[in-house]
Chain A
């Protein structure tokens, strides 16, 4: 992907012009000393990053902390970022690493594996709970790929790079994950099909 060039003497404009910029350009501008550029990036990716952790962790507060941690990691590693990769891929890579670290930690802590979905506190539609339950029944390997594809909207290549798997493996696992998920969803909520 072609990277927009950054001129050093370019005056950094208002938020409006920043909003129109590509992620990678924003990052480069931030690196040169414009903090608003990072605010813009933060605005753009707060929800996706939070959602990333929220879908993968049971602990709501922890998801929030890790989302924050991801942005801190971006700040810290800002010099290591190379425009070769898109910012989105870069961010997803960081989030994935943080998630893996978190999983290792919680595996050591022996946290209860059982899902703790409480519909009374979850204010979202009932369908979400069914989906969530069905996804939880998947294998870890399959679930990760499915979530990256469906929610993070990563391409097969991006998933493969992120998880360090061959693209064919990603494709076959994704296929199996979707087939299994379909099977899980049917008995759970047959009327769903009719709704959709």
Chain B
């Protein structure tokens, strides 16, 4: 059909037949169809098509065939509305009406099927909630784990203690001898023992605090050390081969029971098989003192009496206000407890920490390597004197010997350093003078303050904006992801919820 020749588009003819065109236009179209054979045939086609389509009849609704209507009629509006109440009892209460209706096939009554239908979402309820709570739990867990990952794991005292015990157990009982550490007053001559349980009474300064020492090579002692209730496992580094001199150095305050225990245990110690405990001890004290000057003098006195030295000392603060002093004090390991006791008396104790790091394993390793290196040196020397005839061989051996000796020297230095660290304990001391507010009579500068405030304000505004941007960058993808994951379940649940709530509201509105 050539549409251009026609006043009306074929679509318009169709719309006219569908009753969509009214008024003048409809009249014009009616006239045109009468005159134009093409449009008339088109209209006929459309009419016959609609006629043909009517042939597709559908059987009457099975909902009507069943006594459904009676089911609905038996309901009052309140009951029908009540069917949407969430409690099943009200639904169950409605069911007798359905039972009275004759059962015809699957659909005995519209009411029962409606009720079935209404109940169906509620059966899904637990699943919905389970899914939602699972999502929520997952979300919380993932957020928490994100937070946890950012916090560096701190080592607990207990874990370090158990680690100590493990090293101890794993260690072979053939530790080599080491020389006497300088300045410690203790010496090791192939005889070693360890004290596995040491309790320290820090308040008694005169006492060196060793109340009980059990030198025992069994594993039980090692495990006893683990469950020790002290904040830190403390071990002493004691030479039992020279018991006389050692005991003589003990302060007078040492309990006699300790002496007797020492005396009995010393004999039983098989020193060749007991690994030595080498512990770098550290302590930190935080005190509040009344007078900083007096306290400082006292500290220096303590330092001198215990043969220690200051690795570092800083004082801060104005003379009137509360001053602070931070010092790093090093004292011989066996005088640590006495020193700590004296320091505690300087003022009010705010905080105290003690720690120990075991370096026995490192020490043993180093010694073994040193021994090997010495053997190598000896063999090389032998080789040089007996075997090497050619000049090239001599040079090679010499070179090798030189590098071995260098290594030996380095290891010896390391060993000395380690022993020194073990023999000297370090104390981090923080003193704070009691706060005495001082009256400052100088008038505060007012001119610069608004400007400073403005600058600070600008700075904090800029920082908070930047913080927001950073936060969005950092957390944005996570939030977006979870929103995406949770959006559809949430929307679905919202719809379900609304569908359940709406009829209730409608009931309220109707009554």
State the A residues within 8 Å of B (CB): 30-36, 38-39, 42-43, 46-47, 49-51, 54-55, 64, 67-69, 71-72, 75-80, 123-125, 127-128, 130-132, 135, 149-151, 155-156, 171-172, 174-175, 178, 181-182, 185, 192-193, 196
Contact = CB atoms under 8 A, between A and B. Distances in A.
5 contacts: A51-B58, A54-B59, A75-B84, A155-B20, A175-B11
Contacts of A51: 58, 61
B69 A42 contact: yes
B78 interface: yes
B49 A47 contact: no
Majority secondary structure, A binding face: helix
A33 B63 contact: no
Contact of A127 (B11, B52, B62, B69): B52
A187 B14 CA distance: 23
A196 B64 contact: no
Interface stretch (B218-226, B248-256, B428-436, B503-511): B503-511
Interface stretch (B111-119, B370-378, B383-391): B111-119
Contact of B52 (A31, A43, A131, A171): A131
A78 B503 contact: yes
A50 B18 contact: no
B75 to A, nearest CB: 5
B120 to A, nearest CB: 10
B15 interface: yes
Q: Which of B15, B51, B59 has the most CB of A within 10 A?
A: B59
Contact of A55 (B52, B56, B117): B56
A196 B58 contact: no
Interface string B1-39: 000000000110011001110000000000000000000
Contacts of B117: 68-69, 72
A99 to B, nearest CB: 15
A188 to B, nearest CB: 11
Interface string B490-511: 0000000001001101100111
B62 to A, nearest CB: 5
Interface string B61-82: 1111000110011011111100
A76 B52 contact: no
B50 A150 contact: yes
Interface of B: 10-11, 14-15, 18-20, 45-46, 48-53, 55-64, 68-69, 72-73, 75-80, 84, 107, 110, 113-114, 117-118, 499, 502-503, 505-506, 509-511
Contact of B502 (A55, A80, A149): A80
List 3 A-B pairs, minimum CB-CB distance, nearest first.
A79-B506, A50-B61, A127-B55
Contacts of B62: 50, 64
Contact of A156 (B20, B113, B118, B503): B20
Contact of A35 (B15, B20, B51, B73): B73
Contact of B110 (A31, A42, A80, A125): A42
B63 A156 contact: no
A67 B502 contact: no
A68 B11 CA distance: 37
Contact of B49 (A54, A127, A185): A185
Contact of A79 (B55, B58, B107, B503): B503
Contact of A43 (B14, B69, B503, B505): B69
A38 B64 contact: no
Contacts of A181: 49
A75 B72 CA distance: 12
Given A39-B72, A64-B63, A132 B56 contact: yes
Contacts of B110: 42, 68, 71
B72 A38 contact: yes
B73 A47 contact: no
A136 to B, nearest CB: 11
Contact of A192 (B52, B57, B76, B118): B52
A149 B118 CA distance: 32
Contacts of B72: 35, 38-39, 42
Given A71-B114, A149-B18, A156-B15, A47 B55 contact: no
B82 to A, nearest CB: 11
Q: Which of B77, B80, B505, B506 has the most CB of A within 10 A?
A: B77
A30 to B, nearest CB: 6
